[in-house]
Structure 1
Amino acid sequence: MVNKIIGLSIILTIGGGLALSFNTKESIDFSSYSTAGLDLHYIAPNFNEIEDDSSEFVFPELGKSYVGFKEALAFKESRGNYKVVNQFGYLGKYQFGKGTLALIGLRNIGKNDFLNNPALQEQAFYANLSRNKWILRRDITRFEGRTVNGVKITESGILASAHLAGPGAVKRYLRTGGVEGFADAFGTTIRYYMRRFGGYDTSFVVQDRKAKVLLENDQVL
């Protein structure tokens, strides 16, 4: 009996060591991240949110630059997929609604034309940020560096939240001290976006009240 127990202990010890060796995580280099050549046209939902730090999502490690900001936000919205359409009709890498596209000059753009044009989606993202930064300029000046609802407010957090909920909802959230909140159809909140996307350098984005994406002869200007 003793010999059996000793034998079992040895087996368990060896097995545990092997399991640990297979569970060791290696760092992943996202610098060459690309979806080029993959068949990515499918209908997919967004991802349900978790309000603590145990999020299942692994964001691309691209630093705190503007590129890091937009790619982290895109990864949350669509896993960086230009051709995703969710069940509510939101389009592309940054999950734009038709109303937002209309505001930035893309009122008559066809769904497939938008999904198949990555350059157009990138310009739409920047134009929307630029417009929102102008609308929220006073709130950025007033609240940046303060803590609201337990979260330190930063410009990038404000802009990310405006992408989620619209600038009007962000104004109300900040000016009520986080009392008047917002949650989208998946339960994602302004507070979550403020926290998750805070601390990025978005000084690259120039505020512009009339920011538009203009099309001429089917070319993006």
Structure 2
Amino acid sequence: MRKRFMKLSVLLLVATFVVSGFSSKKEYNSSSMFTTDIVGELADVPFEYEVNMKSHHSVPFVGKSLEGFSSDVGFQESSNNYKAVNRLGYVGKYQFGWSALRWVGVKSKKRFLNDPDLQDKAFEALIAKNKFVLRDYITSYAGKVIGGVKVTESGLVAAAHLGGAGNVMKFLCSDGDNVFADANNVPITKYMKQFANYDLTSIPANANAKAIL
């Protein structure tokens, strides 16, 4: 009698298991990838172009304006770090040397490093001065190809920022044979190409430009 009861119990358990295995209840994948009832905000999945976008191309887009020129030169020089000081003593977002600082009327490196507005004004003053020094060369060479590089006003101004206006003149007068490179072995031709065709018309050539707030 006891054995018969045990057999019946086993059969009942098997029957229950089989029935539950064919239940009409739907199954859901437990992976969070397929979950539709998500609590909170969805993650913002970037487009491919956003993933590949360099930091100096981030929005807001300032393009080829003076603001774009300042931002792009600053990024090249220091990743737009106003506190940057390199091993050679060049300082700030635009990596000014002491002679360039004095040329635009800045007398204190400490103040310069602690004042982003002063740095921006100094950069604008340097643009104005370099435009004045190079004014005849800009008029004579703009649009021409020298040493395989198309000459533009902004390209010459950027090259002067890197290597000085005098070395830009030597490059042009030598028909591209005399190419100055800075202490990091960056040639002025790189800046001429990289910073070509920006609109710097809002800053007139001015031999007396100073960084004044």
Tell me the TM-score range normalised by the shorter chain.
Answer: 0.7 to 0.9
Deviations 1:18-76 (A, max 9, x none): xxxx9973427x9xxxxxxxxxxxxxxxxxxxxxxxxxx76435211111111111110
Cα distance in 2 for partners of 1:76, 1:91 equals 13
Distance 1:58 1:183, change over 3 A: farther
Question: SS in structure 2 opposite 1:27?
Answer: helix
Aligned to 1:153: 151
Aligned to 1:47: none
Question: SS in structure 2 opposite 1:128?
Answer: helix
Aligned to 2:63: 63
What is the TM-score normalised by the length of structure 2?
0.73
What is the TM-score normalised by the length of structure 1?
0.70
Distance 1:23 1:119, change over 3 A: closer
Paired residues in the alignment total 165
Residue of 204, 208, 211 corresponding to 2:209? 211
Q: What's the % identity of the aligned pairs? A: 41
Deviations 1:152-178 (A, max 9, x none): 110000000000011111011111111
Residue of 98, 104, 129 corresponding to 2:127? 129
2:101 counterpart of 1:101: yes
Aligned to 1:72: 72
Cα distance in 1 for partners of 2:63, 2:208 equals 30
Structure 2: segments with no counterpart, 5+ residues: 1-44
Aligned to 1:43: none
Residue of 25, 31, 37 corresponding to 2:48? 25
Aligned to 1:175: 173
Superposition deviation, residue 105 in structure 1: 1.0
Cα distance in 1 for partners of 2:46, 2:80 equals 26
Residue of 141, 144, 162 corresponding to 1:143? 141
Question: SS in structure 1 opposite 2:89?
Answer: coil
**Displaced runs of 4 or more, over 4 A:** none
Cα distance in 2 for partners of 1:79, 1:122 equals 15
Cα distance in 2 for partners of 1:175, 1:126 equals 26
Larger Cα-atom Rg: 2
2:91 counterpart of 1:91: yes
The alignment yields a C-alpha RMSD, in angstroms, of 1.9
Structure 1: segments with no counterpart, 5+ residues: 1-21, 31-56, 215-219
Instruction: Give, as a single letter, the amino acid of the residue that structure 2 aligns with 1:117.
Output: D
Cα distance in 2 for partners of 1:58, 1:182 equals 28
Cα distance in 2 for partners of 1:173, 1:26 equals 37
Cα distance in 2 for partners of 1:92, 1:158 equals 21
Question: SS in structure 1 opposite 2:48?
Answer: coil
Cα distance in 2 for partners of 1:138, 1:210 equals 17
Task: Point out the structure with the larger helix share.
Answer: 2
Instruction: Give, as a single letter, the amino acid of the residue that structure 2 aligns with 1:64.
Output: K
Question: SS in structure 2 opposite 1:123?
Answer: helix
